[in-house]
Amino acid sequence: MAIVSSLDSRWENVLRTGDVVVQVLPKYFRPTEVDVLQADIRKVQKMLGWEPRVTYRDLVRIMVDYDMLFEGLEPPGQ
């Protein structure tokens, strides 16, 4: 279990001292963790005709932009 012991001021509207931020539930614990998890979307593409609307590269860009904005930085934009 991980509990917040102190906070930087930028987190005050999100967390409080004493909040539990990580808790491991025994029923979800995997005793032998795998080193690499890798998805393959070909089966769902074939069975459902599904195609992702956001590419992996764009998803990473969106996530980095959000993190930069959260830190008060201006993302480069594309």
Q: Can you tell me the distance from the alpha carbon of 8 to that of 3, in angstroms, rounded to the nearest whole number? A: 15
If you count DSSP H runs as helices and E runs as strands, how many of each does the chain have, helices first? 2, 2
Residues above pLDDT 90, as percent of the chain:
50
pLDDT value at 62 more than 90: yes
- Comparing CA positions, the residue from 77, 72, 74, 52 lying closest to residue 62 is 77
Query: Rounded mean pLDDT of 63-77?
Result: 90
Question: Are 52 and 41 within 8 A, CB to CB?
Answer: yes
- Put simply, whether the predicted model's pTM sits higher than 0.85 gets the answer no
